[in-house]
Structure 1
């Protein structure tokens, strides 16, 4: 119960999947939920507001098995500017891999931050195939889990949740490969070019 501050730590926050996950959460949460996108210049502003909330929900994508630099930089500032009243911390993390357990190390990083800075870690939702799932009929599975997460935070009953697309790894790899080939075509890049180190 109580207000939730949703902090979007995606490097492309205004047009990210993390934004949509946060919006779905807000639609299910029974209390007040306010969203802030991390930018280069608003770390202290967000830190100054955190103490007004009972719960803090960090929403971000997996980057190289860890936190995106956007979120890392914010947590450094939060460590230096702690609120007087510390909220409970929950997480929604998504990765491009179909296996949600790929997010485990990243989740442990947030748990370590909480332990070192005396925040209570509450609930987590780990999403596999997070870059694609919102554009498929399997989106309903994500919505169900986010609804469950919203309920767990509202009722203060911690949950360790995970969700992915119910398809085989081979099918997922084939679909994702086709997606990137078509994406490259739309931007004038061939498959062979994407397979070289000359493409960033």
Structure 2
């Protein structure tokens, strides 16, 4: 089971996966943690792991608070572990006038094995951006939205990489007969998201 949570203000969408383990994807901005926690607690009192699709402040600044509550580690692409640990400019916390407080327990994604999730590297928005397949859904972070694509003018962003990542996701989406695009912001999409994206790219 997967549930869409959050999306308050500038904070990212959050996805709660309830399966063999309970996985929280992109808990969002720290300012909205209390609201996210209320939503989580309507489904479960346990989170086993947080996964960030990338290290931007609006996706991961509540990690450390939820880590304290649930005692769970955070996993992120190996390339972005150092940025999350340091809370440096790659997290773009400066855009929000904030300082990112990192979680204490950060695990490189390469060390995580979950047989009910598939991790896909989709660089472009950041060089460590990932997408995640869960059942018939594709969680895309800020790589692909219902009506558009992620920005590439932030640190480590790359337009050509983003374009290639979206073409890669489109191929996977059809090969695996997926149905839903679960983006980092905005509404849930479907296969038409690729049409909108390619019109932009």
TM-score (norm 2): 0.33
TM-score where L is the length of structure 1: 0.33
> For the pair shown, which has the larger CA radius of gyration, 1 or 2?
1
- Higher helix residue share: 1
